[in-house]
Amino acid sequence: MAGFGHYVPERRVENAELEAHFNIETGWIERRTGIRARHWTMPGDRLTDMAAKAGAMALHQSGLDRRDIGMVLLATSTPDHLLPPSAPLLAHRLELKQSGAVDLAGACSGFIQALVLADGFVRTQAKPVLVVAANILSRRINWQERASAILFADAAGAVVLSPSTQPGRGLLSSELVSDGSNYELIGIAAGGSVQPFEMAMDLEETRMSMRDGRKVFSLAVEMMGDCATKALTSANLSPSSIDRFIPHQANSRIIDALEERLELDTDLSIRTLGEYGNSSAATIPLSLSIANAQAQFKGGETLLMTAAGAGMSGGAVVWRM
């Protein structure tokens, strides 16, 4: 990874605002989720605005000539429009005139999926790739569903991958999985070809819904834990070999459960959930960029990243800096 970037909107929404809205006791949200605050966009802000700011930071940090970027991958569940895709506009705004540009709709595991695809492109084409994950989830909050409404945030994170001549660097192993039998646990009912917006019976069908929070919790822990274990095995590494653990920032209790399941020291985990909430695919690159700014990654550090989300889809990667 040659560069990191992130962006969050200026508007900071503390738990007190949501606790007052839902008439719940002070401190309930943090105790349940680990979240203290989240950031939301203002009306008129676009997804590509956030993505471009995170991408520009990562490109600047990489020091690479923008003409050398071969591909832009944008992982998002909230594109500017259903059509056209948002990645070409993002590439245009970043003046990446000679790169391909592709949207990926992988929900919370979108960044992990994009990272695996980007690594393959870098290795086969010998060209750098900009990977951006961004979401504006505040505009998809279902205000009738307290359990999910308190979670979601807006953010963007980005990394630049570049070719390396050093052996044993970059993606050491990966594990991607899906479980379509639980396809409808998390989602937005209206807006696709099955149920266009004009067919929606009420506003709730155009908003995010989580049908069974307890089941989502158990499936997420199982999927993320299994993927992480298999990725470590494929890399011939043990949990003790990991320098930093960067899980999807969905809920502090999920992260706690993963640390216990994987037998990882809690000091290894990067947590941004408290200040930034759950921005789906953006949480891992956001965490990477913030962590790098606080304590710069060193060559040879081994990272474990894992995520799971709507679909259900999930994955994990072992990455060596």
Q: Is 227 a catalytic residue?
A: no
6, 248, 251, 292: the active-site residue:
248
Is the Cβ–Cβ distance between 259 and 266 less than 8 Å?
Answer: yes
User: How far, rounded to the nearest angstrom, does the alpha carbon of residue 151 sit from its chain's CA centroid?
Assistant: 14
15, 182, 251, 278: the active-site residue:
278
15, 108, 182, 292: the active-site residue:
108
* Non-local CB neighbours of 128 within 8 Å, separated by 6+ positions: 2, 62, 64, 68, 69, 70, 122, 160, 161, 162, 163
Q: Tell me the C-alpha distance between 15 and 321, whole Å.
A: 36
* Strand 313-320 with 302-309, pairing: antiparallel
Specify the 3-state DSSP secondary structure of 162: coil
Q: Tell me the C-alpha distance between 137 and 78, whole Å.
A: 7
Is the Cβ–Cβ distance between 116 and 122 less than 8 Å?
Answer: no
Specify the 3-state DSSP secondary structure of 177: strand
Q: Is 248 a catalytic residue?
A: yes
Nearest to 254 by CA among 241, 273, 267: 273
Q: Is 278 a catalytic residue?
A: yes
* Strand 170-178 with 313-320, pairing: antiparallel
Nearest to 74 by CA among 60, 59, 91, 57: 91
Q: Tell me the C-alpha distance between 162 and 311, whole Å.
A: 30
Type of residue at 235: A
Nearest to 71 by CA among 98, 49, 93: 98
Helices 252-262, 213-234: inter-axial angle, 10-degree rounding: 40
Q: Alpha helix locations (H) across 63-96? A: 87-93
The residues annotated as belonging to the active site are 108, 248, 278
